[in-house]
Chains A and B, each alone.
Chain A
Amino acid sequence: MAQQIKTHHFPNGLTLTVETMPHLRSASWTLLIPAGSATDPSGRSGAAQVLNGMIYRGAGDRDARALSDAVDDLGVQRGGGVDREYMTLSGALLADDLPAALALYADIVQRPQLPVDELDAERALAVQAVQSLQDRPAQRLFQELNRIYFPGNFGRPTLGEIDELGALTPGDLQADHQARFCSDGAILAVAGGVEFEAVKATVEQLFGNWAGKGPSTPAVKLRDEPLYHHLPQDTAQTQIGVAYAGFPLGDPEYYMARLALNVLSGGMGARLFTEVREKRGLVYSVGASPRVLKGVGMVLGYAGTQPERAQETVDVLLGELRRIKAGVSADELERARTGLLAALVMAGEATGSRAGSMAADIFLLGRPRTLDEIRDAVEGVTLAALNEHVSTHAPTNFTVLTLGPAPVEIHSI
């Protein structure tokens, strides 16, 4: 059955997209505000993180507890958070309760109380989140890898910096809310047992008077020079992270790059898992996954292993990434294709995954992709085209970061 997706652009710049999934009684939404941590003012890294906590501390005429209770009364499974490019407010619930939940979130977005006397508590939570990273080596690895892979403000940690969190004032917070929470460019994606017209009427009523245009996110730049860096930490496993350039959504090479990455890291039969784990027993966890940002695509690779095996692991990992240049077999392409298409269908069964994907598509591409469109593109990739792609666009210029007791030697990246 064809998907039922409808999109509407409100005059104030808010885009609404709804996928009706008729046999479901549940629904999910993602509200995307295109002003993430990359737009944190200079010297105020972590501002989006603190703001994201503060908006839930009372909104409209409800204080923090009344607001929380009202959300829970509707059985909302809460989600959302801060990314570099945007903030999201998301939730899932029984479809009948969606209008009531959106009314609460309209208050959270447009009329948060931002109580000054709770700023210290929210800041304390943000500081603790930064401190917790010391006890989460894999998360710390990726924060620091992002910092060196995205030069400038874009690479600042989403969680913020402890000293800059300390400098935030209540005035900053008010101004920051005004600047970021604007209708222009905001995206609301809804999926589940709901009807487009009904959702549109609700949204019009709740968000129709919302206004403003937010800060523009700096264009994303990736480091184009190879780099190796080591962060010393007394851990049981050495954490290995690799970043390299990929392709953005909308690029003619996008689906080929996606398939090539599935050949490397699609399932347990893919190359990285086979060579690093199955044949050599070097790791429990190894893989590479795509990240798509506005106008830019990239790949993040990961392996964790005990220090005495870190050298061999990094050698095999980088060797496999490079080896893709030599080409993939017809069987490998078919497995990669089948894996992508099956994952697509199965993700299409869940409302949360659909709402999140549609919001991201609109942000990156200006419109939601249908499953049919993706299927056609993936099915259209021939072996010859894929092999042409990997020979021309093989992974190169790696940014490698290790975290652990000792560095490794990187011979050529």
Chain B
Amino acid sequence: MRYDQATLPNGLQIIGEHNPDAQSVALGFFARTGSRDETPEISGVSHFLEHMMFKGTERRSPEDVNREFDEMGANYNAFTSEENTVYFGAVLPKFQGQLVDLLADMMRPTLRTSDFDTEKKVILEEIAMYKDRPQSVLFDVARETYHHGHPLGNSVLGSTESITALERDRMLEYFERRYAPNNLLLVLTGNYDWTGAVAQATAASATWQPADAPRALSAPEPYAYERMVADPKRDRVYIALVAPAPAAQTAERFAAEVLAAAVGGGEGSRLYWALVHGGLADSVGLWYDSSDGAGAFYTYASCSPERVQEVLQIIRATLETAQRDGLSEDELARARRKIASGLMLGAETPMGRLTAVGFDWVYRKAVMPLNEVADHYLAVTPTEVAKLLQTQPFATLTVVVLGPLAEATPGL
């Protein structure tokens, strides 16, 4: 593996992790923007804009954009989170130039009103689709409740109302602030041609003007709050618990990941044995979500309505026991091993490395070679985990329960 890095005069950064054995090239533009950078009046604009970026440029119609991706046989898409918007594709190496040209051009969209109006309908369908998914509704409520006013609790999709009311010119205004070259990053992984990519990106972005793209970085205050979302249409009950965790920039992130895996990382974790093995809940998980200047542990479970008090009590007890007594060396060893092998398997393809390499740079302005990342996880000691647990992360829990229950269910 070879690592490349360049910063263009307009502030656009380019990084790469080169793998000469790969059969493909993956590349993507990472915009440091998302729902946390929105105000309530434009809620959902980051995600709606992500869709509009595929709707054509000065040089390309919307049909051209889709057709050109397909002509390269690209495996491509985009996603928007609370704080990142990423446009990516993977192609055979001979199409690298065409893909850079297309994605770079897409970063300067025309945002035509007629396309905006049609795409608004698609966004409203996407919102309707997620309303039929109880886990999505649950986590939207849980994020919002835990962050209680902090922008990291903002909904990525926005609401039917905010999207219906959104105007094209407000989107343009947002675009101009957030898609300045100094707020963008171009990432390449796999078998790419570095010189060619830098030359092309330099030419494509020659007219892009840097701008101020600030972000408020206060950490959310941990919040103990319990909320019931009565939803008689559901068959099952869905439970989320949110607790504070280290930020993406901290060295504690490795210990946080190992802790989450040991306590609730699927089969073989403490929560799995406590709930799923005996059939009390059909699904449970705990994971570590790291963000810019903040972080959280999310616990999720689903169970039958009549089991909800018992399941919630067992989750709380499991978290409290871990916090009080720590974890055994054996448990941590298994968790470390699973994380390290997962990293290696993810790295088989350039696409599998793209977001890891990109976010490494977004959050830490460095790219850590894969083996070093694996070594960091494998080196997490019980003492480091104990130190993290000393901060009492599970002492302040936001709990959200959604399902066919009465508002005042006892024991919740």
Contact = CB atoms under 8 A, between A and B. Distances in A.
A340 B132 CA distance: 32
Given A68-B267, A274-B63, A346-B23, A75 B341 contact: yes
B73 to A, nearest CB: 3
B390 interface: no
Contacts of A128: 236, 279, 282, 302-304
Given A64-B277, A77-B341, A268 B70 contact: yes
Interface centre among A25, A268, A274, A351 (most CB of B within 10 A): A268
A282 B125 contact: yes
Q: How large is the interface on B (under 10, 10 to 19, 20 to 34, 35 or more residues)?
A: 35 or more
B279 A125 contact: yes
A281 B334 CA distance: 48
Interface of A: 23-26, 28, 64-65, 68-69, 71-78, 92-94, 120-125, 128-129, 131-132, 134-138, 234-237, 266-270, 273-274, 277-285, 304-306, 334-335, 338-343, 345-346, 348-352
Contacts of B74: 267, 342
Contacts of B333: 73
B344 A25 contact: yes
Given A24-B348, A122-B279, A128-B302, 15 more contacts: A26-B344, A72-B268, A73-B334, A77-B338, A92-B341, A134-B234, A138-B132, A236-B129, A267-B69, A281-B120, A335-B70, A338-B70, A339-B70, A342-B91, A351-B345
Given A278-B62, A282-B121, A72 B337 contact: yes
The list of the 9 closest CB pairs from A to B, nearest first, reads A342-B73, A124-B279, A281-B121, A75-B341, A121-B279, A269-B66, A128-B282, A134-B235, A267-B70
Given A285-B129, A349-B24, A131 B236 contact: yes
A338 B92 CA distance: 10
Contacts of B121: 280-282
Contacts of A349: 22-24, 348-350
A74 B349 contact: no
Contacts of B365: none
B268 A68 contact: yes
B21 A23 contact: yes
B304 A131 contact: yes
A297 B292 CA distance: 48
Contact of A135 (B23, B126, B134, B303): B134
Contacts of A285: 129
Interface string B236-273: 10000000000000000000000000000001100001
Contacts of A236: 128-129, 131-132
Contact of B236 (A135, A266, A278, A335): A135
Contacts of B67: 269, 335
Given A338-B71, A349-B24, A306 B125 contact: yes
- Scoring B71, B280, B282, B345 by chain A CB atoms within 10 A of each residue's CB, the highest score goes to B345
Contact of B268 (A71, A268, A269, A279): A71
Contact of A266 (B70, B133, B268, B344): B70
A392 B273 CA distance: 56
A77 B342 contact: yes
16 contacts: A69-B330, A121-B277, A124-B279, A128-B303, A131-B304, A132-B282, A236-B129, A237-B129, A267-B69, A267-B74, A269-B63, A277-B122, A284-B123, A338-B73, A339-B70, A342-B72
Contacts, number: 181
B70 A284 contact: no
Interface in B124-147: 124-126, 128-129, 131-134
Contacts of A134: 234-236
A301 B89 CA distance: 25
A266 B69 CA distance: 11
B128 A338 contact: no
A372 to B, nearest CB: 14
A93 B341 contact: yes
A304 B90 contact: no
Contacts of A137: 132
Given A269-B63, A284-B125, A125 B276 contact: yes
B351 interface: yes
Interface in B308-352: 330, 333-334, 337-338, 340-342, 344-345, 348-352
Given A122-B279, A338-B73, A69 B334 contact: yes
A230 B125 CA distance: 21
Among A73, A135, A345, find the residue whose CB has the most chain B CB atoms closer than 10 A. A135
B237 to A, nearest CB: 10
A283 B124 CA distance: 9
Nearest to A124: B279
A62 to B, nearest CB: 13
B231 to A, nearest CB: 10
A219 to B, nearest CB: 34
B119 interface: yes
Contacts of B2: none
B23 A74 contact: no
Nearest to A128: B282
A266 B118 CA distance: 22
Contact of B66 (A274, A334, A345): A274
A269 B282 CA distance: 39
B7 interface: no
Interface string B274-303: 001111101000000000000000000011
Given A77-B338, A132-B302, A348-B23, A343 B66 contact: no
Contacts of A273: 66
Interface string B52-88: 0010000000110011011111111000000000000
A341 B234 contact: no
Nearest to B347: A26
Listed residue (A75, A121, A345) with the most chain B CB atoms within 10 angstroms of its CB: A75
Given A77-B338, A341-B73, A351-B345, A268 B122 contact: no
Contacts of B72: 338, 342
A159 to B, nearest CB: 11
A273 B267 CA distance: 37
B67 to A, nearest CB: 4
A285 to B, nearest CB: 7
A77 B236 contact: no
B368 to A, nearest CB: 18
B268 to A, nearest CB: 5
Nearest to B234: A135
A391 to B, nearest CB: 23
